[in-house]
Structure 1
Amino acid sequence: MIKIYGMPTCPYCAYVDEQVKGDKRFKVIDIGENVRYMSAFMHLRDKSAAFDHSKEIGDIGIPAFVLEDGTVTLKPEDVGLKEYDPNVGGPACSLDGKGC
């Protein structure tokens, strides 16, 4: 099962969530729902090089995908999903407040 860390208020995450609804290959984890989910995400973000670029540019790094083998990616296409187009739906979420 592929874990997807995100939040429903993030347009990228909402776009991914719509694509995986009802698909048992994916488990969506809302990091804002419970502090333990946020903690698990922050631990993942602190330890995985997949987040390096996101940290550099002030992005949160969601949605984040954790494959069954533990590989972490921030690219929806790596798990067979479509990428959100910010030119159509608006900016991404960032920690500096410039998005969302």
Structure 2
Amino acid sequence: MIKIYGMPSCPDCAAVEEQVKGDARYEVIDIGAHISHLKAFLRLRDSEPAFEAAKRKGWAGVPCFVLEDGTVTLRPEEAGLSRRSAGVAAGTACSIDGSGC
């Protein structure tokens, strides 16, 4: 099963969650729903090289995907999903400059 860490208020996470609705191959974990979910995500973010570019840009690093083999990635394509189209929900982003989550 592929784990997806994110938050409903993140437009990129919402787009990913919409794609996996009802698909048992994915587990969506809302990091804001419980402190244990946030702690698990922060452990990943603090230790995984996949987050380095996101941290440099000031992004939270969600959605985050933990593949079945343990690989951590921020690329939906590596989890068999699509990115949110640039034109979809224009002006919505998690970062102040509107560039990403």
TM-score when normalising by structure 1 = 0.91
Judging by fraction of residues, say which structure has more helix. 1
> What is the match of residue 92 of structure 1?
93
Q: Which moved more, 1:78-87 or 1:4-13?
A: 78-87
Give 1:92 deviation, angstroms: 2.8
| Seq. identity, % | 58
Shift of 1:98: 3.1
Equivalent position of 2:70 in the other structure: 70
Measured against aligned partners, the alpha-carbon deviations of 1:13-66 in whole angstroms (never above 9, x if no partner) come to: 000000000000000000000001000000000000000000000000000000
Aligned length in residues: 98
Mapped to 2, the partners of 1:14 and 1:22 lie a distance apart of 14
How far apart, in 2, do the equivalents of 1:6 and 1:86 lie?
19
Q: CA RMSD in A?
A: 1.4
Q: Is 1:27–2:37 an aligned residue pair?
A: no
Give the corresponding residue for 1:2: 2
Query: Is the partner of 1:88 in helix, strand or coil?
Result: coil
Gapped regions of structure 1 (runs ≥ 5):
none
CA contact (8 A) 1:31 1:41 kept: yes
- State whether residues 50 and 74 of structure 1, in contact with CA within 8 Å, keep that contact through their aligned partners in structure 2: yes
CA distance in 2, matches of 1:53, 1:36: 25
Distance 2:92 2:48 in 1: 24
Corresponding residue for 2:50? 50
TM norm structure 2: 0.90
Structure 1 residue runs of 4 or more that deviate by more than 2 Å after TM superposition: 85-88, 97-100
